[in-house]
Amino acid sequence: MMTMLHPVAHSSTQVRAEELGRFLRDANSFVASSQEAISRSAPHIYLSATPFADKNSLVYKEFAPLCTCLVDVDLIDVAHHAGRHVMTLTGHDGAVNSAAYSPDGHLLASASADGTVRIWDIRTGEEIMPPLRSGDDAVWSVAIAPDGGSVVSGTESGVVYIWRIASSHVAVQQLHGHSAAVSSVVYSPSGFHLASASLDNTVRLWSAETHQQLSVLSGHTNKVYALAFSPDSRAVVTGSEDHTIQL
């Protein structure tokens, strides 16, 4: 008898654990997306935040029926995909050409044709600092340093900008050398080097510490678009419009 009941009990426990895990994930998304309203006062959790929760979330299903006179809200900018919360970030006035996560996954950098790089808190969807502007120059590429302290951007004019996150809206350094748009920028996993790929057919390697140019890789015969470091930071791979990949 005990042998027959044991699998059933185990299955029941597993189901409850899965439901609890889903509830906690929904609760985390709920608090993150409604942080401002909730921080004002506890009643806002129910009056201002609950109506904006996903109607399919366990949080909404659990608490909405307990509240009266809630406003009815149709959500158009927040959705769920495969059980994961999806957030729409708005603010750029031009096409978004590149985006990059910080290593800890808490920040997101976006580069746009509107000439700005924006830094977002991915947990709340809010910008953590004013837009980083490179004049009227469209920004084609962006990357965040492995330590999460700096962001680098490549522009249409060929200038590479380095910024300190959350400390200043003025570029710490401008790296000059490319004669055409910088299509891709990337930090090495070690954080010691920075590489930039350009439509001038070259890739340039820079010191992330001194910002000095270390070398120019000029093997491609056409525009270079793709760029990546190997996991051990000892090699860089490039992809070009000349139909080749070079290591």
pLDDT, one tens digit per residue, over 10-66 is 555 555 677 787 788 777 777 776 776 677 777 666 666 777 677 777 877 887 787
Q: Which of 80, 89, 82 has its CA nearest to residue 59?
A: 80
User: How far is it, in rounded angstroms, from Cα 120 to Cα 128?
Assistant: 6
Structure tokens at 218: 């000029």
Q: Report d(CA 189, CA 230) in Å as an integer.
A: 8
Give the Cα separation of 4 and 197 in Å (integer).
Answer: 64
Question: Which amino acid, 209?
Answer: E
For 80-118, the pLDDT digits (tens) are 444 455 667 888 989 999 999 999 888 999 999 999 999
Which of the two residues, 12 and 168, has the higher pLDDT score? Answer: 168
Residue with tokens 């959705």: 79
Provide the mean pLDDT of the chain.
Answer: 82
Is residue 176 very low, low, confident or very high in pLDDT (cuts 50, 70, 90)?
A: very high
pLDDT of residue 142: 97
Length of the chain: 247
What is the pLDDT, as a whole number, of residue 215? Answer: 95
Q: How many whole angstroms separate alpha carbon 78 and alpha carbon 70?
A: 19
> What domains lie within the chain, and their CATH numbers?
2-73 (no CATH), 96-246 (2.130.10.10)
Which pLDDT value is given to residue 8? 45
Tell which wins on pLDDT, 151 or 26: 151
**Structure confidence at residue 187 (pLDDT):** 97
Mean pLDDT of 147-157: 94
Give the residue carrying structure tokens 């000059």. Answer: 176
Pairing of strands 173-175, 213-217: unpaired
Lowest model confidence (mean pLDDT) among 14-23, 168-177, 214-223: 14-23
Q: Considering the chain, what percentage of its residues have pLDDT values greater than 90?
A: 51
3 state SS of 240: strand
**Is the pLDDT assigned to residue 5 strictly greater than 50?**
no
Does position 247 have pLDDT exceeding 60, yes or no?
yes
